[in-house]
A and B are shown apart, each in its own frame.
Chain A
Amino acid sequence: MEQAKKMNMKEKYNAMTGDLAWDFSYKTEAEIFPLSDFEGIKIEDWSKWQDPFRLTMDAYWKYQGEKERKLYAVIDAFGQNNAHLGVTDARYINALKIFLTAVTPLEYGAHRGFAMTGRAFPGVGAQVASQMQSIDELRHAQTQLHTISQYNKYFDGLHDPFHMFDRVWYLSVPKSYFEDALSAGPFEFITAISFSFEYVLTNLLFMPFMSGAAYNGDMATVNFGFSAQSDESRHMTLGLEVIKFMLEQHPDNLPIIQRWIDKYFWRGYRLLGIVGMMMDYMLPKRVMSWKEGWEMYFEQNGKMLFDDLARYGITMPKFWEQSVEEKEHLTHQLWLTFYSYGHAAAFHTWIPDDSELDWLSEKYPNTFDKYYRPRLVYLREQEKLGKRFYNPSLPQLCQTCQIPMVYTDPKNPTKRVYRETIYNGDRFHFCSDACKEIFEHEPEKMSQAWLPPHQIFQGNCGGATIPDVLKHYHFTENDGGEFLHSRDNANWNLWKGLTPDEEAA
């Protein structure tokens, strides 16, 4: 038998990527790829798709396998060394609760979405890129679950993330963002996730969580962050490549893509408010303020990106100015919202201590002392009097972003923004002009939103009382409420030998 000739690099690359596709003989392209053109995106030549990584499938498996081995060795060591005691204080774990319930299921959603695009795109380059990313995202979901599970042995609120994701009122915010993209076509999905989420906004998700973890002694999270980092840089590059590819293929694509960029910038920004709240309120050792993060990663870096895309006719996402106007109010309003709904959350809330209030004054000189410090101090005093404030009614949500309608006019920060529209004889409510415009563009879709408070009143969430609903969410009596009175806090003080007076909080 003749020995096969060893392939050179280029042959190997072709054999292990593009040649993995096959030619079809008895079905038409339109029959095989039925989702490729309904969105209106025109691709003239799929062979123009450039793979910036030249990563072959066999090399991919080898690299990923190495990353897995390193990560799991660290996780084992974590368990053996009681590393959960190394974090700054037990309040920090609440940031992880949000991450595990709100972000990890999105990794899984991304896995599903890229599996869809890998099947739906007619070009083999895009299929291979989608396949790799789909597997990456599944790995991210798994590694996050395995890492954060270490803390589940010691802290409340980490026990049922996927069950909660599909039911809990505030988790419908990330869920609906992703499902909006997943239920669209492949081009909208990849624009939403690869470009808007991963390229434009991901620094504001990963940077605060991963640096926050490092600052706060959470080596487990730092490790999955490192393990995901090289995948993420591949994903970000793909996000930019895919936008340029679509724009270069046909001039008709520009307005469609611009609209998607506008939509997912706004939806992503609304979603990131939760991360901002974590940066300003939940990390015992702070990394940077939300305002500083937004200025650096969006106002500066984002602007440079859009300047670069201007040659294709792309402009800054519509309503971006609104995000800048809100930056000195956003996180304070959201934290106060979660504080007031703390009895119905699977993480704890609290009032920052005095040095933390001072940090906020310094970071938000125009707004914090004027508006927000007095509110926090008032609530702290009420708590000391035994009257910890909880809001007794269910919140009015925005039909689009599904966040409670708490946003105010930045020029008049005690006036809430109320927007509404009538569709098919019914009234729909929105937190902003942007959310209203997104609805009005696709009312057939957005009017189907599964809004948790409304679902409770329809009888679909386990019952009519708050305890019924929390049971339906699989919350235990220890998962939510005031941090000071939590089991997490009591355990922490016990493990660290602290008396209540020495508590970090």
Chain B
Amino acid sequence: MAVKAAYENYSGPNRDAVENFHGNQLVYLGWDEHMMFPCAGVFPLPPQMPFGAIIKEVVPSAFSLHPDFASIDWGKVEWLLDGKSFNPTLDKSLEDNGVNHKSLIRMITPGLNGINNSGF
């Protein structure tokens, strides 16, 4: 469907086009079963950044306040990219891993499901 407008061929800017982010792209990052962070966070990241840097830099800046964080076994973490399960190659870039502008990465940590397993 299309908007009904007072004139023909109505359109406007896509306010969040990737060109507007000074060489970065937006990436959303959420941690399932950890509602202490009530929603995913949003981060402006260079598309060339290796996926490993997300684990080293971005994930701790977002989630290290949670007591589960120190217990994460990084070999066991499961990832979802835009809703599909996904095996990132750590030394490849976000781009080469298929992480695009406004992609959503979700992190699942089996066995770690929040304070007292409560999902919080």
Residues of A participating in the B interface, judged by any CB pair closer than 8 Å: 34-35, 38-40, 185, 333, 336-337, 340, 371, 374-375, 378, 389, 391-396, 404-406, 408, 413-416, 418, 420, 424, 426-429, 440-445, 447-451, 453-454, 457-459
Contact A427 B82, CB 8 Å, known A406-B39, A414-B114: yes
**Cross-interface CB contact of B104 among A34, A336, A420, A449, cutoff 8 Å:** A420
A418→B11 CA distance, assembly (Å):
27
A301→B29 CA distance, assembly (Å):
41
A440→B65 CA distance, assembly (Å):
37
Residues on A with C-beta less than 8 A from B70 are: none
Contact assessment for A449 and B15 in the assembled complex, using a CB-CB cutoff below 8 Å: yes
A404→B37 CA distance, assembly (Å):
11
**Cross-interface CB contact of A337 among B5, B39, B106, cutoff 8 Å:** B39
Q: How far is the CB of B66 from chain A (nearest CB, A)?
A: 9
Contact assessment for A404 and B39 in the assembled complex, using a CB-CB cutoff below 8 Å: yes
Residues on B with C-beta less than 8 A from A378 are: 115, 120
Residues on A with C-beta less than 8 A from B21 are: 457-458
Among B5, B18, B106, max chain A CB count under 10 A is at B5
**Cross-interface CB contact of B2 among A375, A405, A416, A442, cutoff 8 Å:** A442
Contact assessment for B101 and A426 in the assembled complex, using a CB-CB cutoff below 8 Å: yes
Residues on A with C-beta less than 8 A from B56 are: none
Chain A: CB-nearest residue to B116: A374
**Cross-interface CB contact of B41 among A38, A333, A394, A447, cutoff 8 Å:** A394
Interface residues of B in 16-34 (CB under 8 A from A): 16-18, 20-22, 24, 26, 28-30, 32-33
Residues on A with C-beta less than 8 A from B17 are: 426
Question: Can you list 23 A-B contacts (CB < 8 A)?
Answer: A38-B4, A38-B5, A374-B116, A375-B35, A389-B65, A391-B38, A393-B41, A394-B41, A395-B42, A406-B39, A414-B33, A420-B104, A426-B18, A427-B100, A444-B3, A444-B11, A447-B15, A448-B12, A451-B15, A451-B16, A454-B42, A457-B42, A459-B22
Contact assessment for A429 and B6 in the assembled complex, using a CB-CB cutoff below 8 Å: no
Among B6, B14, B18, B43, max chain A CB count under 10 A is at B14
Q: CB of B75 within 8 A of chain A?
A: no
Residues on A with C-beta less than 8 A from B15 are: 447-451, 454
Q: How far is the CB of A246 from chain B (nearest CB, A)?
A: 15
Residues on A with C-beta less than 8 A from B28 are: 396, 429
**Cross-interface CB contact of A392 among B1, B2, B61, B120, cutoff 8 Å:** B61
Residues on B with C-beta less than 8 A from A450 are: 15
Q: What string of 1s and 0s marks CB contacts (under 8 Å) between B70-91 and chain A?
A: 0000000000001100000000
Q: How far is the CB of A457 from chain B (nearest CB, A)?
A: 4
Q: CB of B110 within 8 A of chain A?
A: no
Q: CB of B54 within 8 A of chain A?
A: no
Interface size class of B (residues with CB under 8 A): 35 or more
Contact assessment for B33 and A448 in the assembled complex, using a CB-CB cutoff below 8 Å: no
Contact assessment for A416 and B30 in the assembled complex, using a CB-CB cutoff below 8 Å: yes
Q: How far is the CB of A169 from chain B (nearest CB, A)?
A: 11
**Cross-interface CB contact of B118 among A185, A374, A408, cutoff 8 Å:** A374
A458→B65 CA distance, assembly (Å):
27
Chain A: CB-nearest residue to B43: A393
Q: How far is the CB of B25 from chain A (nearest CB, A)?
A: 10
Q: What string of 1s and 0s marks CB contacts (under 8 Å) between B44-69 and chain A?
A: 10000000000000000110010000
Contact A34 B6, CB 8 Å, known A454-B42, A457-B24: yes
Q: CB of B103 within 8 A of chain A?
A: yes
Chain A: CB-nearest residue to B114: A414
9 A-B pairs with the lowest CB-CB distances in the bound complex, closest first: A414-B119, A393-B41, A442-B3, A396-B40, A406-B38, A404-B39, A457-B44, A427-B102, A337-B38
Residues on B with C-beta less than 8 A from A375 are: 35-36, 115, 118, 120
A395→B39 CA distance, assembly (Å):
6
Contact assessment for A445 and B3 in the assembled complex, using a CB-CB cutoff below 8 Å: yes
Contact assessment for A441 and B1 in the assembled complex, using a CB-CB cutoff below 8 Å: yes
Contact assessment for A395 and B41 in the assembled complex, using a CB-CB cutoff below 8 Å: yes
A418→B39 CA distance, assembly (Å):
10
Residues on B with C-beta less than 8 A from A420 are: 82-83, 104
A449→B17 CA distance, assembly (Å):
12
Among A375, A389, A413, max chain B CB count under 10 A is at A375
Chain A: CB-nearest residue to B102: A427
**Cross-interface CB contact of B37 among A35, A340, A440, A454, cutoff 8 Å:** A340
Chain A: CB-nearest residue to B35: A414
Contact A396 B41, CB 8 Å, known A426-B14, A428-B102: yes
A144→B40 CA distance, assembly (Å):
36
Contact assessment for B62 and A392 in the assembled complex, using a CB-CB cutoff below 8 Å: yes
**Cross-interface CB contact of B42 among A40, A333, A394, A449, cutoff 8 Å:** A394
Contact assessment for B6 and A35 in the assembled complex, using a CB-CB cutoff below 8 Å: yes
Residues on A with C-beta less than 8 A from B12 are: 444-445, 447-448
Q: How far is the CB of B8 from chain A (nearest CB, A)?
A: 10
Contact assessment for A426 and B39 in the assembled complex, using a CB-CB cutoff below 8 Å: no
Contact assessment for B39 and A396 in the assembled complex, using a CB-CB cutoff below 8 Å: yes
Chain B: CB-nearest residue to A375: B120
Q: How far is the CB of A226 from chain B (nearest CB, A)?
A: 37
A97→B53 CA distance, assembly (Å):
41
Residues on A with C-beta less than 8 A from B42 are: 393-396, 453-454, 457
Residues on A with C-beta less than 8 A from B82 are: 420, 427
Interface residues of B in 91-120 (CB under 8 A from A): 100-104, 106, 113-116, 118-120
Contact assessment for B38 and A340 in the assembled complex, using a CB-CB cutoff below 8 Å: yes
A428→B2 CA distance, assembly (Å):
16
Among A336, A374, A396, A448, max chain B CB count under 10 A is at A396
| 18 further contact pairs, Cβ within 8 A, besides A391-B41, A393-B29 | A185-B6, A337-B38, A374-B118, A374-B120, A393-B41, A408-B35, A414-B120, A416-B30, A416-B40, A426-B101, A441-B3, A442-B1, A448-B12, A448-B13, A449-B15, A451-B15, A457-B21, A459-B22
